[in-house]
Amino acid sequence: MQLKFWNNILVTVLLAVLLFVFTFYSIVFAQQKSETNSVFDSEKAALEAAVNERNAKLAEINKQLEETKKNLDSTRGERVTLQREVKFLDGNIKALDLTIKSDEIQITTLEDEINSLSRDIDHINKSVANKRVSIGETLRLLQKQTDTSIIASLLRGFSLADGVFRADSMRQLQTRLRSDITELSEMEQQMSERMAVKQSRKEE
């Protein structure tokens, strides 16, 4: 009777240790994620500000380009003179210069977006690695529990309820942890696809 009591105490302690380890790794992972997210948020805010500034410049350049094209169309209707040819040539040079500036801004913006996506993917890869370490440690501890089946637990003096509780706890933890890995892997895949799209746009 006393052996059964101590066995039950041991099971309770082991389950408490497992829950503590799982909670500890979850808290550490959450803190790392929070700190990293804070850095990424500030970087993204700076990037968005730069992109917005460039977009404003781009809008102004496009406006000037549109006006230049209208002036060129107007010049075409003028009588052919040396002054008209010079004016037409100046208009073409200005239009070309504005087009080059517009292209440069668009390329710079795309490069920034691609670099941002690369950092996001690195962040996700680190999150996946951290989560897998946490999962590996938890599963290693859980494996110690799975070595003892419900029937073996009963033979050792554990109650059926203890055995079922242990098995159910292990299944829930494993399901949750695998779900986390799947979710992070899907995020990584999604980010890789988005980066591929951005890269292809840059090469167009």
Residues 36-65 have a mean pLDDT of 80
State the pLDDT at residue 159. Answer: 58
The 10s digit of each residue's pLDDT in 56-115 is 888 888 888 888 888 877 777 667 677 777 887 888 888 889 889 888 888 888 888 787
pTM > 0.75: yes or no:
no
**How far is residue 182 from each of residues 75, 132, 167, 169, 177, measured CA to CA in Å?**
63, 11, 22, 20, 9
State the pLDDT at residue 146. Answer: 60
State the pLDDT at residue 56. Answer: 86
Per-residue confidence band for 27, with pLDDT thresholds at 50, 70 and 90: low
State the pLDDT at residue 68. Answer: 84
State the pLDDT at residue 54. Answer: 84
The 10s digit of each residue's pLDDT in 145-198 is 665 554 555 555 555 566 666 667 777 777 777 777 787 778 778 777 877 877
CA atoms within 13 A on the CB side of 139: 11
State the pLDDT at residue 197. Answer: 75
Domain-by-domain residue ranges, the chain? 2-203
State the pLDDT at residue 21. Answer: 61
The 10s digit of each residue's pLDDT in 130-139 is 777 777 776 7
State the pLDDT at residue 142. Answer: 66
* 3: pLDDT strictly greater than 70: no
State the pLDDT at residue 12. Answer: 59
